Structures are given as C-alpha cells and as structure tokens.
Structure 1
C-alpha cells in the first residue's frame, strides 16, 4: 500500500479497519482530533510523543497504544504513519519508516482524505478559529445535524477535541501556520481574519500569507461559499478575487451579518445580529469580548446558510461554555499576603500569544472590570514571533498594571538576539507605563505575584507554551471555584 492507495480509502465505511495507523507527535493539539476520529471508527491507533499530558491519557483510555519516546521499534507492523509538520526528517521513526517503505502522511493529508468523502466546512484565520469551530460544533449538535468535528482545542460541551457524527457534515479547524490548509478541499470556508503571524513560513512576506488564503478560498467550488470577516483589511484586499458566493460578517455597516449594540457585563456579552433583510437576532454569550461576538457572527452566518433555525442558534450560543484556555475563568485565588490580609483574586487563563490577541483580552477585562488591578503573567511564544512583532508586544504589554514576563517558550526554535524576554522587559520598563518584573526562574513567580497583590486583582495567565502547566503547579491548591 502506498500514499495513493491510502487516499482512495473512505475511512468512514472501509472494510479495512484492521489497519494499524501510527501518529508521530500524537500528543499535539493538531493530531489528537484525527486520532480520536480514527479510534472511534475502529482503527488500531498507536503513537509516540516525548511527554504525557491530558491528551495522551484520554487516547490511552480509548484504546490507543502510546510510546513516550521516539524509536524505530514503535513502528513495527504499522500500515502507515501520520506526522505533523513539526516532526523533523531526522526523527528515528521517520528514518525507519522510509527505510521500510512505510507510507508517511502529513496530518493535513489525512484531514484531506477524511474530508473528501464528506461535506467539508473549514474554519481558518490568524485568530479565533478554535472558538469559532467550537461554537459551530455546539450549534450543529444542538440542531440535530450530527456533524463530525475536528478542532484545535478542547470543546467543553463534549469534553473532547473531536466528535464523530453520522451526517455528511465534516467541520474542521484549518491550520494556516504552515500553509497545510491548502491540502483541504472544503465546500464552505470561514476566514476569521488575516494578520502577520508565522511569516517565517512565508519567506517573511505578509503578501505571501495573504495569497495563501486567497488560493485556499479559490479552491472552493463555484457552488460553495466563503464566509469572511469584513472588518479585517487583509480580507478586504483579497475579497474582489473570490469567485464563489461570499457572505460577510462583522461590525462594519456593510456586513451581510452585522453585529450591533454590543454590551458587556462581567462575563456576559449581549449584542444584536442584523441581517440584510432587516431580520434581527438578540444574542447572549457567556464569554465576553467583541472578538467573541465576531466569532459568534461567523458561526451564525454558517448556521443560517445551512438552514438552522434561529431559536436553536440563540439557545446554543447562550449555553456555549467556551473553549479551554480561551479567556477561561479558573476561579478565585485565595492567597495569604500577610497575617491579617487574605486576598481573593480572579484567575483567568488565556492561550493568546499574538499582540492582537493580547490587546483584545486586555480590552475585554478593562470593559468588564475597569477598576481591577490587572496582573498579567506572560510567556512569549517563539523567537520568530517575538522578533517579527516586537514593537507591538512592547506597546500592548505596557497596557497592563503589573507584568510578570517569563522566558520565551522557544518551541524548538533557535535563539534570536533581541527577541528574548529580557529585551522585552528592558523596553517595556523604559516606557514607564506599568510595573514589569522579569522572571528568570519559575520558582520566583509566586513571591513576585504576592508582592503585587492589592486585594482587587485579576490575574491573567497568558501564553501558548507551557505556562498553563507551570501556573497550575504553583496555584492549584489556592484556587476555589
């Protein structure tokens, strides 16, 4: 069997479910969804990763065999391999697979194979795709449409990154970071926004990144549909070149699905959706922020397009629980500052790692809790991102009251001079707009944090690396729901 043979298999109905499929890097958020779907379809799944996490625990509980090291012994009697683009050609399992003529597929190629036998709906963009995909999943499930869903984050309502459905709907988060979204052939595409990020994969050219999204949109058949955010200037740049039907959404007065009257109170966001035919929907979200209203508008545009009833949309979004690590309220933190002073701080965890995402999170907090002392514990993610967006980071990070900045989470990138956390610390400190502390050792976090509490605090855990694991270990015993 070769890759061409594999691409002909309809894995949803195949008689060949005795096939053994091995994932290299199975603990990654991009891999788990595919592994879960194939497990639920009855295939024999194994995988390798360097570290145990909640993802690997779940896969093992469902019957996957997982090795916590990379070794050629892991791939004995395997029919084919699925790997992420992050896996090096020097990986021991890749070398052994090539030597033994075991077919190797990229993660995106496997998504392509699964999608080709379904009605594909892909959600992509620089920000918001995970939350938007989660909202769509909830709406479709609430409406009895039985979709198959593969997401880049854990969907709280189903406590999973993926859902195997029985209908023709196949809803996936599509990754733009390495242009692997171009493997997919969806009938409907949602683009939430396009901004500078991951441009090291695009020869440091924002125009090439924009062009990649345009190529993706041009892959939609003429009978398909593009749903795009008209508030985003880069999307507006490529909009005239899209040939299929286009539905726009946003706060912009010209949007086909327009957000109006946005208001926010604590964790609630209230707004109105106005359609071109003047029909209106009144919405309540349990997650705040104008950016989440935009995510909801994208989901609503798709749902209406697919004939979902308005009352199902409203009910589903009102119950929407959010996505893990996307402005996730963890509870109140009880810390004894001194003998007579026990502080109770709100604790929020957020995956955002791009200046725009940080800015939206800060704006959201300031809108709902303007008088709170905002303490951000931030772990920059990747030297390339820090380098390319350095001045934006300095500007945005100067907007919190207290900043604790950890070392850059490299994600296996080489060090870049001037793109490190100490450089950020020095330049933010020069601005004089807030109090910034450089944390060189995780063991120093708690003491630094406690020293800055005033009893009226919001602590924001911010970043995409391992900061959530670090902070969980430090604070878990102090959190009360």
Structure 2
C-alpha cells in the first residue's frame, strides 16, 4: 500500500513553511529527492530548506511547479490553491502530507506516536532517547525541537520516529511497527463529528500494527486504555499490548517518588531525570521509554539518563525569558486538557508566585464545543485574558466568539486587543510570577512583547529597591 519514495520523482510541497510539511521536505532532501516548495510567507524554515538544496518560492503561483512530478499538500491547503489547480490540470500525482511521509518511511522500523495531547513531546523524547542510547533514528516531528536542533532528520539506522497526526485521520496512512497512544479524547469534531468517531479512528490506528508489532498505551487515560483493552480482547497476545502509567497494572510503571520520578518494568528500574515540568511530561517520558526500550531494543539506562538534557519541544511550556523577576513561558495548548496540564506545570514552577495567562482560542468549532471546559481549566490561573479566536483553516461560525469562554470567567477577562492584554498583564505581574501565553495560533508572538512591556515603565516587575 502507498507509494515508494523512488516513484515520486521531483516533489513540490505546497505550504512548505508549515512545521509538518517542512519536516517531510527536510527528510526527502536528505534522502536525495529533488524538492521544491512554496508558501504564502517567507518563513525561516524555508531559508533552511533552500540552503539544503530545495528550490523555494514565496507566494503561490502555478509557475512554481515547473518540472514537478509529485505535489504534496496538507489539509490546510484549499482546493482552489493555484498550484493544486495546476497540478490536477497537468495530471500530476497529488499526495497528502501524510502519504508523502509514509513514502519516506517505507522500509523503516517505524515508531508512530499518536494521541489527542502530548504526541509532539513524546515523539521528541523518543528520538532523543534513541540518540542517547547510541541509535541514530530518522524522525519527523510537528514542532521544532531545540534539543535536536531541527524538526526532522535522516538518521543512520533503519528506525524512523514520526508524530502521527489524528486531526484529519491521516495517521491511518502509516504502517508502524511500534505505536504509542498517549490519550484519546474528543477533539477535531469538525472532521470526526462525534467523540465515538474519534475513538473508532484510534482503534483503526491500533489495527495497523503487524503481528510482531507493539502497542504502547497510557493506562492513566481512559481513552487510550480502552483502545489497548479492545486490541487485547480482539487479538489476544499478537500484536503485543503494553500499558504505561502510574496505575498498579501498568507494564511500565511511573513512580512519582520524593527523590524524583522513576520507571519500573520487567527489565528492572531506572531513575527518570526529567528537566521538563509536570506529571504529564513524566507520563510522556514513560511512554517514549516503553516504546524505544521494549519495542526497539534501546539500552534502558542510557535511554532514561539522556532525558536529563532534554529541554522540551518548541511551544511546549517553552521558556521565553525573564524580565524584572517575572518569567514568561509559551505553550501550544489548545484543548481544555492541555490547558489544565500547562497550568499545572506553571503552578509547579511558580511556587509561591502567581500565574497569569494570555489565552487565544483556536478554531471556531473547537471553541463552540469546549467553551465551558476552557473556562474551567483557565480558572486555575490567578489572572486570565482571552483574545479573539484564531480561525486557522475555518470560516467564522455565527454566534461563536471568545465570549463563550469568558462568560465562565471573572469580569474583565476578555481582551479586545493583544496590546491591551500585554500591557495589563505586565502591569499586574510582580517578581516571582509567571506569565503564560497559551494557544495554537499567533499568540506565541506575544511572549517577546510581554518581556518588553515588563522591562518598560509600565511593568511592576522591578524589585522593592528599584533595581
């Protein structure tokens, strides 16, 4: 099933600046494929690809295809895009991004990480641990990983680690040997329609494993555990199913001890020297460890020890800087469960300090479905400001605004403008506090502005002696 990499010929990526698209393009360039690409904006990753030998254009134009034989596009690219129109008019092969990644992974031992939350960090940890254990995997991840230096690479071994995106069910295009399912919750209902359809898609994903494969699922999450139990019931012991988490029946058990977290499994016990905060990250590490050690044979002590130098993925509780004693972090959280986890991590880091959150809802459909849950999650912060909805790929839905979220929060939580929100939070923050920008949209750009505001005369971040 699928298309072999050698069959693709010259490949053109529509929307090559996207983090997921650029990851596939980077791997293909490294494997000798002639690559071109375009995007609406001139993004830094495009210049990286150009330096590697790809032909890159800014702006969409049918002429960008030139001699392309295969065109790759993601779900965010609209059918009327002039390059897609030209590709179809010329009868070129048109692949979804996931199909192109599947072609790049063909012939490898594939570790695919899926889940409603945590898959980017878990994928990154798996690639990092494999490297730490002396194995050099290829990988493609949906975020830049500062510790790895890139979001994708062609490795020296036959192992390929990939983040498997469930948002449009495109993760069903992969053929993994090992799978990690971090959790399963209702999300992306604009595509699936119902929570039941989301769970069914993960069941189908688990069903992709060969008889010699391994399914690694989080026993602490009801959705992931459900997938694992249904696979066990349907197939017995083939493929193997393994649970990780804090529960007593976990095959790889996370122990949260006063001396620090550790992992216990049939092969022994190892400390887990995490440098990223939050119980959710300890669970992510447990899942990655189970996959690379049990599923791919990595040396356990070396794999676990490598996490001491893992600094996290971009936009996953990423430290942006400190000004006048106030620390600013940025997190990609765009589902209520993710927002709760980000705030839990922030509380752990802030200690006695306060937590101030600048939240940008992502997608009208998601805001409509989860507005009350977002408000409940955000209520854990000391101060909240909510920006207008970031539409991404969606058109507005009548009656769906950020007010659906702020209706469940204290008066004044709605921020009519980003500059106003930045100014208000900078004025409220004092030394020891944390300010957290949250959301999958362009709210990430406000971190540097918060630092500037904190350093300015409007910020209260200075110490009592004015230093």
TM-score after normalising by structure 1: 0.89
Residues 471 and 345 of structure 1: is their aligned pair in 2 closer, same or farther, counting only changes over 3 Å?
Answer: same
The corresponding residue for 2:62 is 72
The corresponding residue for 2:200 is 211
- 1:370: how far off? 3.6
- Please tell me whether the aligned partners of residues 262 and 290 of structure 1 are also in contact (alpha carbons under 8 angstroms): no
- Within a 5 Å distance, the mapping from 1:299-310 to structure 2 comes to 299-305=288-294, 306-310=296-300
The corresponding residue for 2:360 is 379
Distance 1:346 1:49 in 2: 34
Normalized per residue, the structure richer in strand is: 1
Q: Is 2:313 aligned against 1:323?
A: yes
- 1:424: how far off? 2.0
- Please tell me whether the aligned partners of residues 357 and 381 of structure 2 are also in contact (alpha carbons under 8 angstroms): yes
Match of 1:27 among 17, 23, 29: 17
- 1:24: how far off? 0.4
The corresponding residue for 1:351 is 332
Distance 2:60 2:423 in 1: 38
Distance 1:107 1:318 in 2: 33
The corresponding residue for 1:223 is 212
- 1:233: how far off? 0.9
The corresponding residue for 1:341 is none
Match of 1:297 among 264, 273, 286: 286
List alignment gaps of at least 5 residues for structure 2.
456-467
- 1:445: how far off? 3.0
Match of 1:261 among 249, 256, 260: 256
Distance 1:260 1:311 in 2: 16
The corresponding residue for 1:248 is 243
The corresponding residue for 2:383 is 402
Distance 1:97 1:473 in 2: 41
- Please tell me whether the aligned partners of residues 115 and 186 of structure 1 are also in contact (alpha carbons under 8 angstroms): no
The corresponding residue for 2:126 is 136
The corresponding residue for 1:337 is none
- 1:456: how far off? 3.3
Q: Deviations over 1:296-349 (max 9, x none)?
A: 001111122122222212321111121111111122123xxxxxxxxx201111
The corresponding residue for 1:57 is 47
- Please tell me whether the aligned partners of residues 216 and 244 of structure 2 are also in contact (alpha carbons under 8 angstroms): yes
- 1:31: how far off? 0.5
> How many residues get paired?
449
- Secondary structure of the 2:361 match is coil
Q: Deviations over 1:204-257 (max 9, x none)?
A: 211111111111111101111101101111122232331310111011111000
- Please tell me whether the aligned partners of residues 270 and 301 of structure 2 are also in contact (alpha carbons under 8 angstroms): no
List alignment gaps of at least 5 residues for structure 1.
265-269, 335-343, 431-435
- Please tell me whether the aligned partners of residues 387 and 418 of structure 1 are also in contact (alpha carbons under 8 angstroms): no
- Please tell me whether the aligned partners of residues 375 and 458 of structure 1 are also in contact (alpha carbons under 8 angstroms): yes
Distance 1:393 1:477 in 2: 27
Q: Is 2:75 aligned against 1:85?
A: yes
- Please tell me whether the aligned partners of residues 110 and 160 of structure 2 are also in contact (alpha carbons under 8 angstroms): yes
Distance 2:453 2:401 in 1: 31
- Please tell me whether the aligned partners of residues 26 and 47 of structure 1 are also in contact (alpha carbons under 8 angstroms): yes
Q: Is 2:415 aligned against 1:439?
A: yes
- Within a 5 Å distance, the mapping from 1:86-235 to structure 2 comes to 86-202=76-192, 204-235=193-224
Residues 42 and 255 of structure 1: is their aligned pair in 2 closer, same or farther, counting only changes over 3 Å?
Answer: same
- 1:22: how far off? 0.7
- Secondary structure of the 2:440 match is coil
Distance 2:448 2:51 in 1: 23
- Please tell me whether the aligned partners of residues 97 and 104 of structure 1 are also in contact (alpha carbons under 8 angstroms): yes
Distance 1:74 1:10 in 2: 22
- Please tell me whether the aligned partners of residues 326 and 434 of structure 2 are also in contact (alpha carbons under 8 angstroms): yes
Distance 1:237 1:302 in 2: 19
The corresponding residue for 2:459 is none
- 1:273: how far off? 1.0
Q: Is 2:393 aligned against 1:454?
A: no
Distance 1:28 1:263 in 2: 41
- 1:193: how far off? 0.4
Distance 1:476 1:137 in 2: 35
Distance 1:370 1:111 in 2: 42
Distance 1:79 1:353 in 2: 37
TM-score after normalising by structure 2: 0.91
Greater Cα shift, 377-386 or 437-446:
437-446
The corresponding residue for 2:347 is 366
Distance 1:422 1:61 in 2: 45
Distance 1:135 1:182 in 2: 22
- Secondary structure of the 1:438 match is coil
- 1:428: how far off? 1.3
Distance 2:257 2:91 in 1: 57
- 1:473: how far off? 4.7
- Please tell me whether the aligned partners of residues 220 and 246 of structure 2 are also in contact (alpha carbons under 8 angstroms): yes
Distance 2:172 2:307 in 1: 30
- Please tell me whether the aligned partners of residues 437 and 446 of structure 2 are also in contact (alpha carbons under 8 angstroms): no
Distance 1:304 1:20 in 2: 37
- Please tell me whether the aligned partners of residues 423 and 453 of structure 2 are also in contact (alpha carbons under 8 angstroms): no
